[in-house]
Amino acid sequence: MNTALNCRPTLSLLLILLLFSGAIAAAPEARTYQMAQRSAEGVAQQIRELYPDGQVSITARGQQMVVRGEPEVLDEIGRLVETMDVAPSQMRITVRSRHNVDAKTGGGGFSVNNNQVSVQAERKVTTTRRNQERTLIVQDGQSAHISSGQVRTVPVAIRGGRNPAAFLEQVETRSGFLVSPQVISDQAVELNIVSFEEDPKGNPPGYDTEAVMTIRRVEPGEWVELGSTRQQRVGERSGITYQTGHSRRQNQTFEVKVEVL
């Protein structure tokens, strides 16, 4: 009976020690990671996206990143850093645009000469087809701005990640596509595509643009349709002795492919 009573304090003490040691083991700590190929800020941004709920606190400067969190999470981050700290891939972005224009004009009229009435009628159809390709070399993490068949590298590092408004605030543009490729593996490239155009409906608060974002995962070298623009105009003129009409319809389609160099 006395033996059982003497064991109770010992068991309680062991239980307290186990709980206390577990709390110590799970206490947050800070670890430093040194980058060899990439900037610490670029890696830190990706880590923040993977742990968005305040699980870790990250500071980055130059090639050094300091992360504070639980040991298990820090172990995961250490393995991620090993896979992320590689030289940025170079990619060739090829943009293909097709520009089709269909124009129709027609008219008719009459004239009177020496009591003779003559009637004239004319109809003309014009079709124009133009294909164009342009190429740009970018690094993993860079973006390309495509507009009116032109393609150029975005000249600034976009703050705000994949937020279209951040791009529109920092780069003066009216319409087009923003393509941000990222190499996932040897067989896959992820394309972050933002299409935007000037909003014709007055001046609403915020940005005078409408933006649509899509994410596509494709094979390197595969053509992807970005979208198209269509424009149609119809007009008519008439007088006492004549009537003319015209219509013009143009369609421009953009496609893009990314090749890993």
Q: What is the pLDDT of residues 165-203, one digit of tens each?
A: 555 555 555 567 778 888 877 788 888 877 765 544 444
Q: Please give the residue that has the higher pLDDT: either 63 or 176.
A: 63
Q: Are residues 194 and 118 in the same domain?
A: yes
Check residue 63 and give left, alpha or beta (phi > 0: left; psi -120 to 50: alpha).
Answer: alpha
Full domain range(s) for residue 175: 90-260
Highest mean pLDDT among 7-16, 30-39, 111-120, 137-146: 30-39
The pair of three-digit structure tokens given for residue 211, joined into one six-digit string? 């933006």
**Number of domain units in the chain:** 2
Write the pLDDT tens digit of every residue in 87-116: 777 888 888 877 777 776 766 555 556 666
Q: Going along the chain, which residue ranges are E strands?
A: 29-34, 57-61, 64-69, 90-113, 116-139, 144-147, 150-153, 176-185, 188-198, 209-218, 224-238, 242-260
- Can you tell me which residue has the tokens 């007055």? 202
pTM for this model (two decimals)? 0.50
Cα 191 to Cα 216: distance, rounded to the nearest angstrom: 5
Question: Are 65 and 115 in a shared domain?
Answer: no
Give the domain-ending residue among 50, 67, 85: 85
Contacts of 151 (CB under 8 A, 6+ apart): 93, 95, 134, 135, 136, 144, 145
Q: For residue 4, is it within any domain?
A: no
Which span out of 10-24, 50-64, 145-159 was modeled with the highest average pLDDT? 50-64
The tens digit of pLDDT for each residue in 216-254 reads 888 888 888 876 666 666 656 555 555 556 677 777 777
Which CATH number fits the domain that encloses residue 61? 3.30.1370.120
Instruction: Judge if 220 and 122 occupy the same domain.
Output: yes
Domain end call among 17, 51, 85: 85
